[in-house]
A and B are shown apart, each in its own frame.
Chain A
Amino acid sequence: MELPDPVRQRLGNFSRTVFSDSSRTGPEYSEGPDNEMVSSLALQMSLYFNTYFFPLWWVSCIMMLYIKYSVLPDYYKFIVITVIILITLIEAIRLYLGYMGNLQEKVPELAGFWLLSLLLQLPLILFLLLNEGLINLPLEKAIHIIFTIFLTFQVVAAFLTLKKMVNQLAVRFHLQDFDRLSANRGDVGRMRSSIEEI
């Protein structure tokens, strides 16, 4: 299962503008060779543990909601249920994209994961944690805090990994240029030697 093509293209363009180092004119030779692995271990560990933590979070959240449901005002009932459904759906997509992007070093998937975490999940979970009117029970506070820590760590780690990945792609692209040039020179050399023969 892959992201649809137009989405991949847009995410790829976005990554190139946000993550590449535009202050350099060419590839620096202090960078590793282009066959270096850029998947991030820290990000993968946090994704793995997040996958195991998510059911625990979900069960605790639903149980606490069941307990306090009758005391919540009407509008908060609707809002909390919507927010929990949204977080569940986005979490499933987000973790899948994170796994694909990090393990297979694919930039559009990882950029999608980064955007989903930063722009959708973080505000939703901060809303659940910090809103006073939701009568947060102590257990909810504890699990929301841990979830927020996971999300923050993943946002930072994914940003650094994306930077490395995009720069490595740029190095690979420039090295490709040199390969093409040396191939052309090989052709020109062959043409010259055949002309000399004539």
Chain B
Amino acid sequence: MGRISGLVPSRFLTLLAHLVVVITLFWSRDSNILACLPLRFTPEEYGKQDTQLVVALSVTLGLFAVELAGFLSGVSMFNSTQSLISIGAHCSASVALSFFIFERWECTTYCVLPAVTEMALFVAVFGLKKKPF
């Protein structure tokens, strides 16, 4: 890589924005859980949905930790392809999650898009380590 492009800071900022939205979701998951319960619900159902969402959020945080470790240790920091994939995926995930919060989508929608993008990045980070330099 010749000159220092803006790829590294943009990747970092999108990663961080996605992380901020996920952490925010931890504290404001109330209205989302209410959206996916029927009109009359019992506290057990509420607890069940709550637990599901918390587990999904924790898995997301774990995958985040892997990607951050790969990025900050420099393994995948300067690979342009991976950075572009990462920026695109995290951008779309952040926007989707923000809509999830604002528009109070249903609980199942959470698992689909961000998890898919995270799995793709997870594979990419590990795949990169096996690639000989």
Assuming A45-B72, A146-B19, is B13 touching A139 (CB within 8 A)? Answer: no
How many A residues have CB within 8 A of the partner chain?
14
Contact of B27 among A49, A141, A146 (CB under 8 A): A141
B23 and A56 within 8 A (CB): no
A56 and B26 within 8 A (CB): no
Q: How far is the CA of A146 from the CA of B13 in the complex (A)?
A: 12
Closest to A143 in B: B20
What is the interface of chain B mostly: helix, strand, loop, or mixed?
Answer: helix
Residues of B within 8 A of A56 (CB): 13, 16-17
A142 and B23 within 8 A (CB): yes
Closest to A52 in B: B9
Residues of A within 8 A of B28 (CB): 138
Can you list 29 A-B contacts (CB < 8 A)?
A: A45-B72, A48-B9, A49-B9, A49-B12, A52-B9, A52-B13, A53-B13, A53-B16, A56-B13, A56-B16, A56-B17, A60-B20, A138-B23, A138-B24, A138-B25, A138-B26, A138-B27, A138-B28, A139-B20, A139-B24, A141-B23, A141-B24, A141-B27, A142-B20, A142-B23, A142-B24, A143-B20, A145-B23, A146-B16
Pairs of residues from A and B, 8 with the lowest C-beta to C-beta distance, nearest first: A138-B27, A142-B23, A138-B24, A142-B20, A138-B28, A52-B9, A142-B24, A139-B24
